[in-house]
Amino acid sequence: MTTDADAHVHGYTAEKSSHLKRLRRIEGQIRGLQRMVEEDKYCIDILTQVSAATKALQSFSLELLDEHLSHCVVEAAQKGGAEAEEKVREASDAIARLVRS
């Protein structure tokens, strides 16, 4: 059964292939971190790689948030009403989570 959310075109849909490529690269960074620990690498070198992976995830998150705002939130705002209020609240909550992370 397909829900409305499944059938909806999301803001990231146009860049889905690019996003998946970035996420695979980040996944590789995480695997690299696991290898570094398994191989008893120097802790500062591991922390440097953790920082790089964290920045990559933050960058991805910001791009996805931008796409959400420019597509999903704008579309809901044009319709108005409760859906618009909900999308703005969701975006605000997402921003708050990103700032705290």
Q: pLDDT tens per residue, the chain (101 residues)?
A: 444 455 567 778 778 999 999 999 999 999 999 999 999 999 999 999 999 999 999 999 999 999 999 998 999 999 999 999 999 999 999 999 989 97
Position 12 scores a pLDDT of: 80
* Burial of 44 per CB tally in 10 Å (0-12, 13-18, 19+): exposed
pTM: 0.78
Contact 51, 30 (CB under 8 A): no
Domains of the chain and CATH, by start: 14-100 (1.20.58.1000)
Position 13 scores a pLDDT of: 75
Position 101 scores a pLDDT of: 79
